[in-house]
Amino acid sequence: MRTLEWGNMGVKIDGRQLYHLRFADDIVLITPNISEEERMLDDFDKACGRIGLRLNLTKTMFMKKRLVSHARSRSTG
């Protein structure tokens, strides 16, 4: 992951650029648009191939979530 040059791709949270989350043998690529996602997925697939790994495309999923500018929280008491 450190060798991938994604620069300003992903999303900025608290001043840090975030473009992936790792969970055991899973990874989540984070991006605000589909064109960045396509490039990131292609870059990641190539990086995996260089070390003898491959993506399981049957388990690959795309999810979309709209951004919320102000979220309200409710306290139940």
Q: H-helix or E-strand containing 39?
A: helix 34-50
User: For 2, what's the count of Cα atoms within 13 Å in the CB-facing half-sphere?
Assistant: 0
pLDDT at 2: 59
pLDDT in tens, the chain (77 residues): 556 666 777 888 888 887 778 888 888 888 888 888 888 888 888 888 999 988 887 888 877 766 555 545 454 54
Q: Where are the domains of the chain?
A: 11-54
- Is residue 44 within 8 Å of 23, Cβ to Cβ? no
Q: ∠20-23-26 over CA atoms, to 5°?
A: 80
Which residue type, as a one-letter code, is found at position 29? L
Cα 24 → chain centroid: 15
pTM given for the model = 0.65
